[in-house]
Amino acid sequence: MEAEKQGRGTLTWALRFFLSYGFVIVLVLLTIAMALTAPGFITGRNIMNLLRQISITGIAALGATFVILIGEIDLSVASTIALGGVIFASLQFVMPVFFAMLLALGFCTFIGVLNGLITTKAKVASFAVTLGMMGFVRGLALLYANGRPIYGFSDAARWIGRAEVGPIPIPIVLLFLTLLATYYVLRFTRYGRQVYAVGGNESAAFLGGINVHRVKIIAFSLASFLAGLGGIIMSARLGSGEPIAAQGYEFDVIASVVIGGTSLRGGIGTVQGTLLGALLMGVIVNGLNLQGVNPYWQQIVKGLIIVGAVIIDRQKRRLG
On the question of pLDDT at 18 being above 80, the answer is: no
Quick check: 41 and 48 in contact, CB under 8 A? no
Q: Of 236 and 28, which is predicted with more confidence?
A: 236
Specify if 151 maps to a domain. yes
Contacts of 142 (CB under 8 A, 6+ apart): 243, 244
Q: How confident is the model at residue 202 (pLDDT cuts 50, 70, 90)?
A: very high
Number of helical (H) and strand (E) elements in the chain, helices listed first: 13, 4
Rounded percentage of the chain residues whose pLDDT exceeds 90: 66
Quick check: 17 and 24 in contact, CB under 8 A? no
Mean pLDDT computed over 84-101: 96
Specify if 25 maps to a domain. no
Q: Backbone dihedral region of 206: left (phi > 0), alpha (psi from -120 to 50 degrees) or beta?
A: alpha
Mapped onto helix, strand or coil, the DSSP state of residue 4 is helix
For residue 35, the model assigns a pLDDT of 85
Contacts of 313 (CB under 8 A, 6+ apart): 258, 261, 263, 264, 265
pLDDT tens per residue across span 149-164: 999 899 999 999 999 9
Specify if 55 maps to a domain. yes
For residue 69, the model assigns a pLDDT of 97
Q: Which amino acid is at 223?
A: A
Specify if 306 maps to a domain. yes
Q: How confident is the model at residue 291 (pLDDT cuts 50, 70, 90)?
A: confident
Mean pLDDT computed over 61-72: 97
Mean pLDDT computed over 68-80: 97
Residue 294 domain boundaries: 41-319
Quick check: 245 and 169 in contact, CB under 8 A? no
Q: How confident is the model at residue 225 (pLDDT cuts 50, 70, 90)?
A: very high
Specify if 160 maps to a domain. yes
For residue 316, the model assigns a pLDDT of 66
* Backbone φ, ψ for residue 221 (5° rounding): -65, -45
For residue 319, the model assigns a pLDDT of 60
Query: Residue 150 forms beta bridges with which residues?
Result: 241
- Alpha carbons 226 and 174: distance in angstroms, whole number: 11
Mean pLDDT computed over 117-125: 96
Could you tell me the CATH number of the domain that includes residue 176? Answer: 1.10.3470
- Alpha carbons 248 and 281: distance in angstroms, whole number: 14
Specify if 19 maps to a domain. no
* Backbone φ, ψ for residue 165 (5° rounding): -105, 100
Mean pLDDT computed over 87-111: 96
Number of domains in the chain: 1
On the question of pLDDT at 118 being above 90, the answer is: yes
Quick check: 302 and 255 in contact, CB under 8 A? yes
On the question of pLDDT at 78 being above 80, the answer is: yes
Specify if 213 maps to a domain. yes
Specify if 26 maps to a domain. no
Burial label, 112 (beta-carbon count in 10 A; 0-12, 13-18, 19+) = buried
pTM: 0.91
